Copies of this chain bind each other. A is one copy, B any other.
């Protein structure tokens, strides 16, 4: 890795937007590989670094650590006694994306796929 893109802080230019609008910073971060997956996995349970590695089947430790640093700096994730967990803000964010679970079932059905998330 020759150079790493900065953490997309709201108020500053990010990938795809020089305006500094918070939504653009958020979409930048959420559009990075595994950001959404990490938030999803940390829902309602703390996980250690190793547990996260396992639950995110293919993430490399290098990248997991990079993402955790970003998400911690963005105050969405923190590291407590029992491992990594969502901050209060992280939980708020999770609650917004929570309906994606149910919606994805409808989506899959509309595409002719039988499998559901609770299979």
Contacts and interface: CB of A to CB of B under 8 A. Distances in A.
Contacts of A97: 96-97
B58 A104 contact: no
A114 interface: yes
Contacts of A21: 104, 115-117, 119
**So how many copies of this chain end up in the complex?**
2
Chain A, interface residues (CB within 8 Å), range: 35 or more
A80 interface: no
Interface in A69-119: 74-75, 89, 92-93, 96-97, 99-101, 103-108, 110-111, 113-117, 119
A110 to B, nearest CB: 6
Contacts of A31: 30-37
